[in-house]
Amino acid sequence: MSVEPNRGAAGGAGAAGTAASQGADVATGGLVQRLGGRLAFGGDYNPEQWDEAVWREDDALMARAGVNLVTVGVFSWALLEPEEGRYDFGRLDAHLDRLHAAGVAVDLATPTASPPPWFTLAHPDAMPVTADGVRLVHGSRDTYCLAAPAYREAAVRIATALAERYGDHPAVAMWHVHNEYATVCYCDHAAAAFRTWLRRRHGTLDKLNDAWGTAFWSQRYASWDEILPPRATQWHRNPALTLDYRRFWSDQALAGYREQREAIRAHSPGRPVVTNLMVPEYQVLDLWAFGREVDFVGIDHYPCGPGIEAAADIAFGGDRARSFGGGRPWLLIEQGTNTLYSGDRVLPKEPGDVLRHSVAHIAHGSEGALFFQWRQSKAGAEMWHSAMVPHAGPDSRIFREVTGTGAAVSRLAEVAGSRVRARAAVLHDSDAWWALDVQGTPSAELDYHGALRRAHRALWDAGVTADFAHPAAPGLDRYPLLVAPALHLLSETAAAAAREYVRGGGTLLVQHFSGVVDEHHQAWLGGYPAPALREALGIRVEEYRPLAQGEVLRLSDGSTGTAWSESVEPAGATPVTTYTHGMLAGRPALTRHSYGRGTAWYLSTRLDDTAYGDLMVRLTVEAGVPPELTPPLPGVEAVRRWSPDGTRAWLFLLNHTDGPLPVPQAPGGHELLTGRQVAPGELRLPARGAAVLRQEP
């Protein structure tokens, strides 16, 4: 079993990934080619839940809706392998042949996210154990331990059997390994694999003891066997151990993915292999590492919140998907037709949302729009989850909207292969996220994911399309503007890269409590942040001062800060705003430093929304990063995709408001969804609708 550490500095939009070296046939271009030049439209298809009469209706309805790609077999393990080593492919043979005859291509999944009951009984040691020591049993899904040899062997076995049988089936357009890697385990197999991983990472126990600071609380390890996963313990766990476990587990998932991918590639060369990633609050995987290993990035996305919140969330997810794939086109593998998650309930989408959300994903770089799932289940744990064909059947608003969306997606075929070009990026590093997610941080309001979203949202509100980038990725200087909202952990290399970025002419905003620990989760000494970053920022943070819940600090320009404050000493930087009262009165809250040919800003508190938005606009202006639409129109999102040679662009305009809107600042061009030519300044967006203007500059 491979536990090769795979994590590292490289990663960022524009970085070449493994897929690139596999050739265009396994990237999205190969998929689009197999779809006859069309973008993908369809969803998870689970015919095993239905009978022949329904399959016949499925064929007719898929044709009506313009479905050309379905994901098959995601949760079929119990049917495909009814007992260990005995396969029954009869039904799958028939479904693939039927779909192929109907002109529907297949994204064939390995069913390894849900081992069958016989597997649990035969291999109880392969069931996951929680941090509290509870061993889980079958009865749901995602119940397996990625470090258990029996599970890994069984997963590769079924993946190999599928690839041998269907590797050159004409219906198979791509492979879908597993489903949303997410389960974390703390069992003895995991402990053993963790120790092997740690030996590779740290080399010697002395180095591990130093890196983890085990002198504190008498934690010194005298033998590798003494080291345990971060299981339930009396009080705060060692943060460096917790961080290493996160890194280790992501590598375990990646190793499991790679094994299946290689088994498939051996029998199905030239067809893309991917897994469906979850991009929003998804901390289990280092998505930069996965982005380098998949043939293209595929994501599942279920917006949290209705209206404009859903729109911002789709942009956030799409920009992340594109960035994790090195800027290449990606694929939306799942979304809901009528599903918006909102706390303890699922809210319905409004009329028009299915189409606009689908077009929004495509605007951000997806080569199509797929859903979970084709037909709403009549039984089972997700029977109330929306689908393309709802319980009500095809005579329903949802199916009509799905059909309209299928037609719209088919009109966008010419954008295939084009790319979004972003000139601003938000720095994101899973290590920084995990490092801030340990016990014992100074404030519960230090929220990595929240800060990341907020920075992206402020750029999105300013009308600017943003990438995400790893702080140590090569080529950051192609972005005139970088925002580091929560780089809690910063290695010396990444800090030096940030300094050189500014020196070379970039504009960088760094926010509070960034760059305070190194890659081992040890504090940078002598004042925060890391020395190279201090030099670029022209400041030294002497003391952090978390604020009480609800406490508001007024700043010199009338704006306010909450959650956090810091005692910042300028060391070359100019204070832009200062704190007005308390111990920090007169000290800088926001600073600006000209360094080399660039500018570095430091924000030591959580600014109120308006002031934060204004700051982001100011930075985009100073950095010369214009909005896609000038001036931006409130409620209207604009994103451009460019042909690889830059001779054509498609301007996607999305009306996230409830009323029709004229867009006088829109250029002219051929509008793909209506097929009409639009004169400059004449575009009118329908309520909750979209337009896609072809531009040939």
Q: Rank residues 244 and 300 by Cβ distance to ligand GLA and give the closer one.
A: 300
Q: Rank residues 98 and 385 by Cβ distance to ligand GLA and give the closer one.
A: 385
Could you tell me the smallest distance in angstroms from the CB atom of residue 335 to ligand GLA?
A: 9
For 43, the token pair is 């969803």
Q: What's phi and psi for 58, nearest 5 deg?
A: -55, -45
Q: Catalytic site residue 334?
A: yes
What letter does residue 686 receive in the DSSP assignment?
A: P
Could you tell me the smallest distance in angstroms from the CB atom of residue 636 to ligand GLA?
A: 28
Asked whether position 300 contacts ligand GLA by CB under 6 A, the answer is yes
Asked whether position 372 contacts ligand GLA by CB under 6 A, the answer is yes
Q: Rank residues 381 and 687 by Cβ distance to ligand GLA and give the closer one.
A: 381
Asked whether position 377 contacts ligand GLA by CB under 6 A, the answer is no
Asked whether position 437 contacts ligand GLA by CB under 6 A, the answer is no
The active-site residue out of 81, 259, 334, 628 is: 334
Asked whether position 648 contacts ligand GLA by CB under 6 A, the answer is no
Q: How far apart are CA 389 and CA 190, in angstroms?
A: 41
Asked whether position 313 contacts ligand GLA by CB under 6 A, the answer is no
From residue 332 to residue 351, what is the string marking binding to ligand GLA with x (rule CB under 6 A)?
--x-----------------
The active-site residue out of 48, 57, 153, 180 is: 180
Q: How far apart are CA 154 and CA 119, in angstroms?
A: 9
Q: Rank residues 73 and 471 by Cβ distance to ligand GLA and give the closer one.
A: 73
Asked whether position 399 contacts ligand GLA by CB under 6 A, the answer is no
Q: Rank residues 231 and 385 by Cβ distance to ligand GLA and give the closer one.
A: 385
Could you tell me the smallest distance in angstroms from the CB atom of residue 279 to ligand GLA?
A: 11
* Residues in 576-605 at the binding interface with ligand GLA, rule: CB under 6 A: none
For 107, the token pair is 């994204």
Q: Rank residues 332 and 653 by Cβ distance to ligand GLA and give the closer one.
A: 332
Find the binder of ligand GLA among 4, 52, 93, 382 (CB under 6 A).
382
Contacts of 688 (CB under 8 A, 6+ apart): 350, 351, 352, 353, 356, 655, 656, 657, 658
Could you tell me the smallest distance in angstroms from the CB atom of residue 376 to ligand GLA?
A: 11
Asked whether position 374 contacts ligand GLA by CB under 6 A, the answer is no
Asked whether position 179 contacts ligand GLA by CB under 6 A, the answer is yes
What sections of 513-562 are H helices per DSSP?
531-537
Could you tell me the smallest distance in angstroms from the CB atom of residue 315 to ligand GLA?
A: 19
Q: Catalytic site residue 180?
A: yes
Amino acid at 259: E
Could you tell me the smallest distance in angstroms from the CB atom of residue 209 to ligand GLA?
A: 41
The three-state DSSP-derived secondary structure of 624-685 is: CCCCCCCCCCCCEEEEEEECCCCCCEEEEEEECCCCCEECCCCCCEEECCCCEEECCCCCEE
The answer to whether the CB of 279 falls within 8 A of the CB of 320 is yes
What letter does residue 504 receive in the DSSP assignment?
A: T
CB closest to ligand GLA, residue no:
300
Asked whether position 316 contacts ligand GLA by CB under 6 A, the answer is no
From residue 528 to residue 567, what is the string marking binding to ligand GLA with x (rule CB under 6 A)?
----------------------------------------
DSSP symbols for 577-636: EEB-SGGGTTSEEEEEEEETTEEEEEE-SEE-HHHHHHHHHHHHHHHT---SSSS--TTE
Asked whether position 385 contacts ligand GLA by CB under 6 A, the answer is yes
Could you tell me the smallest distance in angstroms from the CB atom of residue 384 to ligand GLA?
A: 10
The answer to whether the CB of 295 falls within 8 A of the CB of 274 is yes
From 638, 598, 605, select the one nearest 622 (Cα to Cα): 598
User: What sign does the dihedral 380-383-384-387 (CA atoms) show?
Assistant: positive
For 36, the token pair is 């006859």
In 209-343, which ranges are E strands? 273-274, 276-278, 298-300, 330-334, 340-342
Amino acid at 194: F
Could you tell me the smallest distance in angstroms from the CB atom of residue 249 to ligand GLA?
A: 19
Asked whether position 302 contacts ligand GLA by CB under 6 A, the answer is yes
Could you tell me the smallest distance in angstroms from the CB atom of residue 385 to ligand GLA?
A: 5
Q: Rank residues 181 and 288 by Cβ distance to ligand GLA and give the closer one.
A: 181
Find the binder of ligand GLA among 58, 81, 107, 180 (CB under 6 A).
180
Three-state DSSP class for residue 362: helix
Q: How far apart are CA 498 and CA 203, in angstroms?
A: 29
Could you tell me the smallest distance in angstroms from the CB atom of residue 75 to ligand GLA?
A: 7
Q: Rank residues 11 and 298 by Cβ distance to ligand GLA and give the closer one.
A: 298
From 530, 506, 616, 603, select the one nearest 564 (Cα to Cα): 603
Q: What spatial distance separates the first Cα and last Cα of the chain, rounded to whole Å? A: 53
Q: Give the Cα-Cα-Cα angle 635, 555, 485 (nearest 5 degrees).
A: 55
Could you tell me the smallest distance in angstroms from the CB atom of residue 302 to ligand GLA?
A: 5
Asked whether position 371 contacts ligand GLA by CB under 6 A, the answer is no
From 594, 604, 592, 619, select the one nearest 482 (Cα to Cα): 619
Give the binding-site size for ligand GLA (rule: CB under 6 A). 8
Burial 319-338 (b: 16+ CB within 10 A, else e): bbbbbbbbbbbbbbbbbbbb
Q: Rank residues 180 and 671 by Cβ distance to ligand GLA and give the closer one.
A: 180
Q: Rank residues 300 and 319 by Cβ distance to ligand GLA and give the closer one.
A: 300
Q: How far apart are CA 63 and CA 70, in angstroms?
A: 12
CB count within 10 Å of CB 220 equals 14
Asked whether position 84 contacts ligand GLA by CB under 6 A, the answer is no
Q: Rank residues 372 and 501 by Cβ distance to ligand GLA and give the closer one.
A: 372
Q: How far apart are CA 539 and CA 569, in angstroms?
A: 6
Q: Which residues are catalytic?
A: 180, 334
Residues that bind ligand GLA (CB under 6 A): 179-180, 300, 302, 334, 372, 382, 385
